Structure 1
């Protein structure tokens, strides 16, 4: 059985999935913010700062709340 630093295959898979979520979700949110136009003049800057400083929580907040503030 293959192990890496005492971790088996299932543990490594869970770690890789968690790392993927923690890195990809904020990147996806940042790209969406940068490509979008917002109603307020400072909304884009505020969302970028929220995503950068709060990372996963900021990305989730943007995906739940911020996408509704965009201009269609």
Structure 2
């Protein structure tokens, strides 16, 4: 792969930039989108997860995916 002319970056540097920058950004945006579209068992949890994901993006997103998703109301309980 050719170096980027204006940045003089090779393949390895581009790969590292993607891992360090783009993937955490996409993960954070996904989590924020999922939080805002979801209904939680406790309404305050939605605000709490938004704050955590915004102020601690990578760790907050990972914690939300592990812990926070189980705090959402199930689809069947939302309909009833």
Fold shared by both chains (TM-score > 0.5): yes
Unaligned runs of 5+ in 1: none
What CA deviation, in whole Å up to 9, does each residue of 1:1-56 have, x standing for no partner? Answer: 73233431232123123322121000000000000000112010000000000011
- Compute the RMSD of aligned alpha carbons: 1.5
Computing the radius of gyration from Cα coordinates, the structure with the larger value is: 2
Stretches of 4+ aligned residues off by more than 3 angstroms: none
Task: Tell which has more relative contact order, 1 or 2 (C-alpha 8 A, sep 6+).
Answer: 1
Residue 17 of structure 2 corresponds to 15
**Count of matched residue pairs:** 72
2:67 to 60, 65, 71: 65
Residue 2 of structure 1 corresponds to 2
Paired with 1:41 and 1:19, the residues of 2 have a C-alpha distance of 31
Residue aligned with 2:43, SS: coil
1:24 aligns with 2:14: no
The normalised TM-score by structure 2 is 0.79
Residue aligned with 2:73, SS: coil
